[in-house]
């Protein structure tokens, strides 16, 4: 069962940050709740050096209770500060659960959002317009993560329209753990 899901990225000025997470507080503190894992301890593995990007990674929490499954992505392009955009969508699962079905989910999230970023700057423009996405067309990342987590836990799959980019083209996320 997925305990948490997050979107992290590297900011040239601030370093690695959790941009969105579901449930709130699972990776970084939200209000009075203690996170399930300590992002400050694990951040260099969540947003790793380039040698570990564009590949599947697993990270165990120091207490051994949880495993983070991720697929950090680097998109090189001159339009980005430092000529690259680095992000990771990760799942937080209990260490003793079968992680095999979730590898496909993590890869698909990474590939889908990398393609959406390349085509229309889905991630970078959403952040530039604020936490709600700002343009009325794109769903906020946080709400997408919540839907993905709940649907995968309840049904083992999800299919979510994430935006209408032209009058005839829409983008969907389709994930399955089967």
> In this predicted model, what pLDDT tens digit does every residue of 151-160 receive, in sequence order?
999 999 999 8
pTM (2 d.p.):
0.88
Going from N- to C-terminal start, the domains of the chain cover: 2-176
Domain formed by 2-176, architecture: 2-Layer Sandwich (3.30)
Pairwise CA distance, residues 47 & 82, whole Å: 15
Tell me: pLDDT of 86 over 90: yes
Residue 30: is it exposed, middle or buried by C-beta count within 10 angstroms (0-12/13-18/19+)? middle
* Lowest-confidence segment of 24-33, 74-83, 85-94, 97-106 by average pLDDT: 24-33
What are the tens digits of pLDDT across the range 64-77?
Answer: 999 999 999 999 99
Pairwise CA distance, residues 48 & 104, whole Å: 20
Question: CB of 49 within 8 A of CB of 36?
Answer: no
* Residue 170 confidence class, pLDDT cut points 50, 70, 90: low
Task: Report the chain's terminal Cα–Cα distance, integer Å.
Answer: 13
């Amino acid at each position: 069962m997925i305990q948490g899901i997050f979107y992290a990225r590297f900011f040239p000025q601030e370093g690695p940050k959790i941009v969105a997470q579901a449930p709130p507080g699972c990776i970084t503190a939200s209000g009075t709740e203690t996170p399930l894992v300590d992002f400050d301890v694990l951040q260099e593995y969540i947003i790793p050096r380039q040698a570990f990007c564009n590949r599947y990674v697993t990270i165990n929490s120091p207490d051994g209770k949880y495993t983070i499954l991720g697929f950090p992505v680097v998109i090189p392009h001159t339009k980005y500060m430092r000529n690259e955009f680095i992000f990771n969508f990760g799942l937080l699962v209990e260490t003793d659960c079968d992680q095999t079905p979730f590898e496909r989910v993590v890869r698909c999230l990474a590939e889908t959002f990398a393609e959406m970023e390349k085509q229309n700057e889905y991630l970078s423009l959403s952040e530039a317009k604020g936490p709600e996405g700002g343009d009325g067309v794109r769903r906020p990342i946080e709400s997408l993560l919540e839907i993905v987590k709940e649907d995968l836990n309840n049904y083992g799959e999800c299919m979510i329209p994430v935006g209408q980019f032209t009058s005839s083209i829409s983008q969907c996320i389709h994930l399955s753990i089967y």
